[in-house]
Amino acid sequence: MSILLLLVLSVISCATYHFVPIQNDQIQVIQERSAYYPVYTDQNIGMIIYPVYVDEDLMIKIAIKNYSGKTISFTDTHFSVYESDDRVNWKKLKVYTSEEYYRKEKAEYTAGAVLLALGAVASSIDAGRGYTSTTGTIYGGSRYGSVSGIYSSSTSYYDPTAAELARQRNFEAVSQYAQRGKQWLDVLEKNLFYSVDLQPNAEYFGLVFAEKGYSKYYKIICTTPGIQIVSIEYEKVVD
Q: Is the pLDDT of residue 133 over 60?
A: no
51 alpha-carbon distance from chain centroid: 14
**The domain boundary residue, chosen from 139, 164, 183:** 183
Q: Is the pLDDT of residue 138 over 60?
A: no
Instruction: Please tell me whether residues 12 and 81 are part of one structural domain.
Output: yes
Q: Is the pLDDT of residue 1 over 70?
A: no
Maximum mean pLDDT: which of 11-15, 79-83, 127-131, 223-227: 79-83
More confident residue, 24 or 162: 24
State how many domains the chain has.
Answer: 2
Instruction: Please tell me whether residues 111 and 93 are part of one structural domain.
Output: no
The secondary structure element, H or E, covering residue 28 is strand 27-32
Instruction: Please tell me whether residues 144 and 77 are part of one structural domain.
Output: no
**The domain boundary residue, chosen from 183, 204, 229:** 183
Give the integer Cα–Cα distance in Å for 195 and 204: 10
Give the integer Cα–Cα distance in Å for 15 and 239: 8
pLDDT in the model for residue 134: 47
Instruction: Please tell me whether residues 14 and 49 are part of one structural domain.
Output: yes
Instruction: Please tell me whether residues 121 and 159 are part of one structural domain.
Output: yes
Instruction: Please tell me whether residues 44 and 125 are part of one structural domain.
Output: no
Question: CA distances (Å), 144 to each of 141, 147, 149, 150, in order?
Answer: 8, 10, 17, 20
- Residue 81's pLDDT band, with cuts at 50, 70 and 90, is very high
* Host domain of residue 18: 2-98+192-238
Q: How far apart are the first and last CA of the chain?
A: 26
Give the integer Cα–Cα distance in Å for 170 and 128: 13
Instruction: Please tell me whether residues 160 and 205 are part of one structural domain.
Output: no
pLDDT in the model for residue 106: 87
Instruction: Please tell me whether residues 81 and 31 are part of one structural domain.
Output: yes
pLDDT in the model for residue 55: 83
Instruction: Please tell me whether residues 74 and 115 are part of one structural domain.
Output: no
Instruction: Please tell me whether residues 6 and 94 are part of one structural domain.
Output: yes
| Average pLDDT for 48-60 | 93
Q: What is the pLDDT of residues 195-227, one digit of tens each?
A: 999 999 999 999 999 999 999 999 999 999 989
Instruction: Please tell me whether residues 36 and 85 are part of one structural domain.
Output: yes
| Average pLDDT for 74-86 | 97
pLDDT in the model for residue 112: 59
Is this model's pTM higher than 0.85 or not?
no
Give the integer Cα–Cα distance in Å for 39 and 5: 12
Instruction: Please tell me whether residues 133 and 177 are part of one structural domain.
Output: yes
Maximum mean pLDDT: which of 104-113, 121-130, 166-175: 104-113
pLDDT in the model for residue 151: 41
CATH number at residue 219: 2.60.40.10
Q: What is the pLDDT of residues 149-187, one digit of tens each?
A: 444 444 554 556 655 555 566 556 556 656 777 888 888
Least confident of 1-5, 139-143, 182-186: 139-143
Q: What is the pLDDT of residues 88-97, one digit of tens each?
A: 999 999 999 9
More confident residue, 151 or 64: 64
Least confident of 26-35, 62-71, 78-87, 146-155: 146-155
**The domain boundary residue, chosen from 166, 183, 200:** 183
Q: Is the pLDDT of residue 15 over 70?
A: no
